[in-house]
Amino acid sequence: MDWKVSTDGWITGADIHVRAALGRSGVIAADDKREGDGATPTGRYPVRRVLYRPDRGEPPETALPCRALREDDGWCDAPQDAAYNCPVRLPFMASHEKMWREDELYDIVVVLGHNDDPPTPGAGSAIFLHCKRGDYQPTEGCVALANADVRSFLRLVRPGDHIVIG
């Protein structure tokens, strides 16, 4: 199944039509996506797996592969590193995101298959579907939903499904 994300910030599929936050720089063509540009790339991306904060709630109900985050989980965003756009263990010498965050954004993270097969250096990393900040404040390029909406999405999504942005 394809889950559609509109450029004006809505995700639709199955029995879901909910608001979504997108990148602070808007939505751009995937070929134009660059590391750190704050834009959400258009395209069709496989829904890979789920990560969640075990100290902030029960595991989400989902048919996708799912695992609890650890405090030493990170995600490499250094284009010249061999681990670019891949999960890493902290401490990590190259630039990276901490997956165990103090805010609620990564309480539940759905890893999308953007620039990962294999990664092209500089074409964008860590494009996730995750929990929103505040009143749908823009993301750094991800798609963000209310926590309850992420959980509803995960109950319906199946292995082989895709997120279609744009």
Q: What is the pLDDT of residues 75-124, one digit of tens each?
A: 999 999 999 999 999 999 999 999 999 999 999 999 999 999 999 999 99
Q: Quote the CA–CA distance of 64 and 71 in Å, as a whole number.
A: 22
> For the whole prediction, is pTM greater than 0.85?
yes
The overall average pLDDT reported for the chain is 98
Q: What span, in angstroms and rounded, lies between the C-alpha atoms of 35 and 22?
A: 16
Domain map (residue ranges) of the chain: 2-165
Instruction: Compute the residue count for the chain.
Output: 166
Assigned token pair, 101: 């965050």
- CATH number for the segment(s) 2-165: 2.40.440.10
Q: Are 42 and 22 in contact (CB under 8 A)?
A: no
